[in-house]
């Protein structure tokens, strides 16, 4: 995984947005890559970095690799009812394809993500992943009052394969939505 691919994705999706003015960001399904980039892009924001409870793979990686900055590390299942604040930006970076890994399904996770109050929603995932449905992402976001601002696709330097050899992704696809 090349960090430059992820930086390009965030740079393109967030161009012409006032990241410095944002005060609250939710990094849903946070990991070291997304959180590292978001702490740089949103230096004046409080970032809620949410990981699934007990996901040591992500929690330990964040603690070891992301300098303690403007974020709060939170263990919470996004699909379970909870009080959420209101966010200037909600980011789901490579989250939706992992829904089944934590006992949820794609539709429930997408619905829970969209139900959180946010002015902007950034979704980045693998378009080839059989667990991710971009047509549904667009339809559900439109139904919730979001409009598409920008889309971008980046080819990965190396394809990603699942544990049983199935292709997960050769591209990253990202979308910036804005609540209207």
Which pLDDT score, from 0 to 100, does residue 1 have?
46
Q: CA 55, CA 160: separation in Å to the nearest integer?
A: 20
pLDDT in tens, 114-144: 999 999 999 999 999 999 999 999 999 999 9
Question: Which one has a higher pLDDT value, 1 or 7?
Answer: 7
pLDDT, residue 69, reads 79
* pLDDT at 114 (0 to 100): 97
Per-residue burial over 34-67, b if 16 or more Cβ lie within 10 Å, else e, is bbbbbbebbeebebbbbbbeebeebbebbeeebe
Please check the confidence at residue 162 and state whether its pLDDT lies above 90. Answer: no
What does DSSP say about strands 167-179 and 87-93: parallel, antiparallel, or unpaired?
A: unpaired
Distance of CA 105 to the CA centre of its chain: 16
Helix (H) or strand (E) holding 46: strand 46-51
Domains of the chain in start order, with CATH, are 3-179 (3.40.50.150)
Cα 78 to Cα 18, 108, 133, distances in angstroms: 26, 9, 18
CB contact set of 50 (below 8 Å; sequence gap of 6+): 26, 27, 28, 29, 30, 74, 75, 76, 78
DSSP assignment string, 127-152? TT-TT--HHHHHHHHHHTTEEEEEEE
């Amino acid at each position: 995984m090349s960090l430059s691919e992820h930086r390009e994705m965030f740079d393109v999706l967030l161009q012409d947005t006032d990241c410095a003015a944002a005060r609250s960001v939710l990094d849903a399904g946070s990991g070291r890559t997304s959180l590292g980039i978001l702490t740089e892009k949103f230096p004046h924001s409080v970032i809620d970095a949410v990981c699934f409870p007990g996901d040591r793979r992500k929690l330990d990686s964040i603690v070891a690799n992301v300098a303690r900055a403007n974020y709060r590390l939170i263990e919470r299942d996004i699909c379970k009812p909870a009080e959420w604040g209101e966010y200037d930006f909600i980011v789901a970076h490579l989250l939706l394809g992992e829904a089944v890994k934590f006992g949820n399904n794609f539709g429930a996770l997408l619905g829970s993500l969209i139900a959180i109050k946010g002015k902007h929603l950034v979704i980045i995932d693998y378009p080839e992943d059989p667990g991710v449905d971009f047509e549904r992402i667009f339809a559900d976001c439109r139904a919730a009052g979001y409009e598409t601002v920008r889309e971008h696709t980046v080819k990965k330097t190396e394809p990603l394969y699942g544990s049983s050899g199935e292709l997960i992704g050769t591209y990253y696809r990202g979308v910036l939505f804005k609540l209207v």
